[in-house]
Amino acid sequence: RRTARDRRRAPFRNHHPRAAIALAEVHGLRAYDAVQLAAAVDRDNGRIALGMSAATLVSADQELNAAAVMCGLVVGDPNLHP
């Protein structure tokens, strides 16, 4: 039986490192930001393929947010909600 905690955790898939490298090069991201974005794009694509609503990337990092928007993700910046 899956718990709520299991559903929140995104698996790290083998293609994430390759995708992260490409995203880092295209958007000039730091390594950890590129990995986070690769996982978010993968999760978003999976949700959309299942007919679910788009995932939201929550980040206060403006460079990461800009790259995420360019990748078609919905972005939530916690600094905009005091």
Express each pLDDT in 21-39 by its tens digit: 999 999 999 999 999 999 9
Q: What is the pLDDT of residues 62-82, one digit of tens each?
A: 999 999 999 999 999 999 987
Distance from C-alpha of 52 to C-alpha of 44, rounded to nearest angstrom: 9
Distance from C-alpha of 21 to C-alpha of 35, rounded to nearest angstrom: 8
pLDDT, the chain, mean: 87
Residue 68, pLDDT score: 98
- Going by pLDDT thresholds of 50, 70 and 90, the confidence category of residue 14 is low
Region for 52 from its dihedrals, namely left if φ exceeds 0, alpha if ψ lies in -120 to 50, beta otherwise: beta
Residue 13, pLDDT score: 57
- Check pLDDT > 70 for residue 17: yes
**Residue 78 neighbours by CB under 8 Å, 6+ apart:** 58, 60
Residue 15, pLDDT score: 66
10 Å Cβ neighbour count for 22?
A: 12
